[in-house]
Amino acid sequence: MLGTVVFALTWVVSALDTPLKTVWPVIVALVLVVITRRAFWGLVIGAFTGSLILCNGNPWQAYLELFASHLAPSLQSSWKVGAILFTLVLGGFAAVLNEGTGLQAMLHFFVRKREKTARRFQTAAAGLGIICFFDGLANSMLVGRVCKDMAEKCGVSRVKLAYIVDSTSSAVACVAFISTWIAYQLSMIKEGYRLAGRDINPYLMFVKSIPYNFYCWFTLVMLFVSILRRFNPGPMQTFENGARTLNAAIEEEPKRIKGNVAGMYTVFIPLITLILLFFLGFYLLGSPGPKWPVTVEKVTTAFGSNAGPLVLVLSGLIASCVAILLFPRQKTGYLLQGVLAFYEGVRSLMGPIFILVAAWMIGSVLGELKTAEYLSSLMSKTNAVVLIPSLIFVTGSLISFSTGTSWGTMGILFPLAIPIAATACRAGDPAWQDTYLQISTAAVFSGAVFGDHCSPFSDTTIISSISCGVEPHDHIRTQIPFALITAVITILFGFLPAGLGLPPLFLLPMGALFLMFLPTVLRWFRL
């Protein structure tokens, strides 16, 4: 019924001479993602409606054009094929580490003293989340599963643990140099800049945008402020008081938590292998001519080359093989168990891969409809250049919170935000244009992570609560105060002053200092 209504309205829109045609696929995709909670179908149907408009309402021709003109070219791109393969490979890599025992050994090693156990435990859990930088969803499953049994013994509520787990999942994966996100992020960056008429190296642009990814950085700062200063706004304080009371009641005498270093190598060696191969592969395959001596120019050239897809896939495959070879030998057939774990990890990421392909299709359709040019013309009539990064962040936050999908949000926003930003800063000098586009790129990422961090429809939010053994409702209502405070700081100390030209090296410390003193300020006003 819903599909019939959408297609009927699309036929009406395609017959009219109205600017609504250019933004109709975006409207359809947003509405369907919100209603169905299915990013893939929202993006696919949005792309089809755009193709239907381009084909003047002919459904069969629109169907053929969707695959021939908007899907097939994407699958001929080495970057995009590499994005698919690397995402699948790293999903398998994360699953192999998940099935091992190295992470449990690391947690017990760091929480091995009884003094100040609650704070030590929370810090160790946060550190473990940062170590699991390679995948947001795997982070949520791994850290929650490893830590939940120890939380109450250390006087920490499970909802606080869920907040720690969720805050070190998407926020860390989004700024990590190597993760299951990076391939998708690079493909979206390349698509957005292509629509803006700019030829850039997506990995270099991603690296340059990292300092401007204010929401992710301030989320991590807020996390450690919460741990070190025992800052628990809203209902979180009630849960924490209850956990400390329960801990005092069951604690008859101090007990030491035994440390154990056995098995930690099964995590560290594969991760170090992945990182070293990544940088070494880029340098060896990307830099022309003699490789030695190493110079800054050669390194810059290497990361600006087209070696990215091959390096990503090879480093992921080799690191996965190392992880399988180091799989715990507790039972016979450990290699087979490692291979099966890898297979399950690959299979678990097939859904996100379909979202990635759907995002490419709707991006291609929007490019032909000249959606970004239309929105840019509207934006250029206002004096909102300073506000555009903040507006991109707010828009992305609303979309991601309403839909629960960070990847879907990127797929919707990148084809629009980057061309709009490119048009808005066209009058500035080239150096400022590059900086402004880096800020806008980071604003898309930050907005996408906001919803992934606290939306009731987000898979990482739900998995974080389930893996920690708490109700999703309790996790969401205790986490939203942290997310909203961080979002406000992101605008006031991040995207708004960055739009005025202030550098991130100044803004990040200022925002961090404000967050550090925020608990004291709130206590002064008894809030």
pLDDT tens across 127-183, in order? 888 887 766 766 776 777 777 777 877 888 889 999 998 998 888 888 887 776 877
The Cα–Cα gap between 22 and 314 comes to 40
Taking a C-beta distance cutoff of 8 angstroms, is the pair 187, 361 a contact?
no
Alpha-carbon span 429 to 10, nearest angstrom = 41
Please give the full DSSP string across 44-109, using - where no structure is assigned.
HHHHHHHHHHHTTT-HHHHHHHHHHTTTTTGGG-HHHHHHHHHHHHHHHHHHHHHHSSHHHHHHHH
Q: Which two tokens stand for residue 69?
A: 């003109």
Cα–Cα distance measured from residue 138 to residue 127, given in angstroms and rounded to the nearest whole number: 15
Residue 509: the pLDDT is 96
CA-based torsion, 38, 40, 44, 46: positive or negative: positive
Spatial distance between the Cα atoms of 192 and 419, rounded to a whole number of angstroms: 7
pTM over 0.85: no
Considering only CA atoms, which of 138, 127, 131 is closest in space to residue 90? 138
The structure tokens listed for 351 are 């859904």
Q: Position of tokens 């110079």?
A: 295
Handedness of CA 203, 208, 212, 218 (dihedral sign): positive
Q: How far apart are CA 96 and CA 271, in angstroms?
A: 12
Q: At what angle do helices 472-490 and 236-250 cross, to 10 degrees?
A: 130
| pLDDT tens across the length of the chain (527 residues) | 677 888 788 888 887 777 788 888 888 887 887 787 677 888 888 889 989 998 888 888 988 988 888 888 878 777 678 768 877 887 788 788 777 766 667 666 666 654 457 888 888 888 888 887 766 766 776 777 777 777 877 888 889 999 998 998 888 888 887 776 877 888 889 888 988 888 888 888 998 999 999 999 999 999 999 999 888 888 888 888 877 665 544 444 444 444 444 467 887 888 888 888 877 887 788 777 666 777 656 666 666 566 767 877 888 899 889 988 888 776 567 788 888 888 988 887 787 778 778 877 887 887 788 776 676 566 555 557 888 999 899 888 888 886 667 887 888 888 888 988 888 888 778 888 899 999 999 999 999 999 878 877 676 777 788 778 788 788 888 999 999 999 999 999 999 999 998 999 999 999 999 999 999 888 776 65
Answer yes or no: are the C-beta atoms of 173 and 135 closer than 8 Å: yes
The Cα–Cα gap between 1 and 312 comes to 43
Long-range contacts of the stretch 282-287 (C-beta < 8 A, 24+): 282/307, 282/308, 282/311, 285/310, 285/311, 286/311
Rounded CA separation 145/130 (Å): 15
Instruction: Look at residue 245 in the predicted model and tell me its pLDDT.
Output: 63
pLDDT at 410: 87
* Cα–Cα distance for residue pair 123/114, rounded to 1 Å: 14
Query: What pLDDT score does 255 carry?
Result: 44
Residues, the chain, total? 527
Q: CA 216, CA 225: separation in Å to the nearest integer?
A: 14
Task: Name the token pair of 206.
Answer: 């991603």
Distance CA 196, CA 275 (A): 32
| Predicted local distance difference test score (pLDDT) of residue 115 | 46
DSSP code for 493: I
| Eight-state DSSP code of residue 101 | S
Q: How far apart are CA 166 and CA 137, in angstroms?
A: 9
Largest CA-CA distance found in the chain, in angstroms, rounded: 78
Q: How far, in Å, CA of 201 to CA of 186, rounded?
A: 9
